Amino acid sequence: MIKRPVIIDTDPGIDDALAIAIALFSEELDVKLITTVAGNVSLAHVTDNMLKLLQFWGKDIPVAAGAAKPLIEPLVDASNVHGVTGMEGYEFPEPKRELLVKEHAVNAMYRVIMESEEPITLVPIAPLTNIALLFSMYPEVKGKIKEVVLMGGSASRGNKGVMSEFNVATDPEAAKIVFDSGVPMVMAGLDVGWKALVYPEDSEKMLGMGKTGEMAYCLFKKYRGGSFSTGLKMYDSCAIAYLLCPELFTVEDTYVAIELAGSMTRGCTLVDLKHYLKQDANVKVCLDIDGEKFRKWFLEAVSRCI
């Protein structure tokens, strides 16, 4: 089977860690490069976390560090959700620093995309700063990208503001550049993440699933994306689930605008299902997910990790 080449742009992040585990141990995906961006915590922490995860799994995937802050505004992180280091709760091995390439994430993405014979799928599960810089500096990559499958935005309400989701609202200018780019795009937003839940009995099962399951169990005890007892939200795994199991989702081709000006709605995704804005669709928006099937898929996917 020809594996689908992907680049994951991430800010690990507890839910990022699980999404990346599933991608790295799947038979369908070929993770060519992992890029990091400031988001859940600082660029230094998320890059270290990524290198620790790769050491933990024994996977030699190149990592390139990218933007240390959003395009315009200072970073307001999510350490309240993921802990001060971004992956609180587990004693990881030292980061595998040899995997850190010298290039900036944007240049590394450009090189990997241009060198690839197959069009690359970009999977951003973090603020969109690196992807916006890539499209602005190297617009020629757009023709070589199969699609962008991202976790971000919301077709309903928010988690950073009343209507805005963290990955989009952390860097709304970047999100606008990406959503307006013309590149085929899939949005797995916050509201599908709210239904992609892992319950205590699932976490208990994961404890017996090898070292990744055990690590996840420890991180989950600290993760504040939902609650351990009533269900933890696996936001970033939704983007990977879309790639590996799209039948879990109900999707609709829709025009999505990014609000930049709103004094209370800045950074929200206007999912124009009723066509008020009279624009052509630019995004395949995931409007629903089968939560029970997701749970089953997630546990099976984690059981395939070491």
The listed partner (Ca ion, ligand BDR, none) that binds 166, CB under 5 to 8 Å by sort, is ligand BDR
Find the DSSP H helices in the chain. 14-24, 43-57, 79-82, 105-115, 129-137, 166-170, 172-179, 190-193, 200-207, 211-220, 235-244, 291-303
DSSP symbol at 147? E
Contacts of 278 (CB under 8 A, 6+ apart): none
**In the complex with Ca ion, which residue's Cβ is closer, 50 or 272?**
50
Among 23, 64, 67, 125, binds ligand BDR (CB under 6 A): 125
What is the β-pairing status of strands 231-233 and 197-198?
Answer: antiparallel
Rank residues 110 and 241 by Cβ distance to ligand BDR and give the closer one.
241
Q: Which residue has the tokens 């802050």?
A: 69
Q: Among 26, 35, 40, 203, which residue interacts with ligand BDR (rule: CB under 6 A)?
A: 40
Which residue's CB is nearer to ligand BDR, number 103 or number 225? 225
Task: Tell whether residue 16 is a contact of Ca ion (CB under 5 A).
Answer: yes
- Asked if 19 is part of the footprint of Ca ion (rule: CB under 5 A), the reply reads no
- Figure out which of the listed residues 9, 48, 202, 236 binds ligand BDR, where binding follows CB under 6 A: 236
Give the nearer residue to Ca ion in terms of CB position, either 77 or 236. 236
The dihedral built from the CA positions of residue 136, 138, 139 and 141, taken in this order, carries a sign that is negative
Degrees to nearest 5, angle at CA 247 with 158 and 53: 65
How many alpha carbons lie under 13 Å from residue 25 in its C-beta half-sphere? 19
Beta-carbon-side half-sphere exposure of residue 232 (alpha carbons within 13 Å): 27
> Minimum distance from CB of 9 to Ca ion (Å)?
9
β 226-227/197-198 pair status: unpaired
Shortest CB 161 distance to Ca ion, Å = 17
- C-alpha separations of 302 from 99, 177, 209 in Å: 24, 34, 8
**Binding status of residue 235 toward ligand BDR by CB under 6 A:** yes
Question: Minimal distance in Å, beta carbon 77 to ligand BDR?
Answer: 9
CB 8 → ligand BDR: shortest distance, Å? 12
Q: Can residue 70 be called a binding residue for Ca ion (CB under 5 A)?
A: no
Q: Does 81 participate in binding ligand BDR (rule CB under 6 A)? A: yes
Say whether residue 123 binds ligand BDR (CB under 6 A): no
Q: Tell which positions 205-244 bind Ca ion, by CB under 5 A.
A: 236
Q: Is 43 in the site for ligand BDR (CB under 6 A)?
A: no
Q: Which residues pair with 36 in a beta bridge?
A: 10, 65
Write out the residues near ligand BDR by the rule CB under 6 A: 13, 15-16, 40, 78, 81, 125-126, 151, 159, 165-167, 190, 235-236
Site residues for Ca ion per CB under 5 A: 11, 13, 16, 125-126, 236
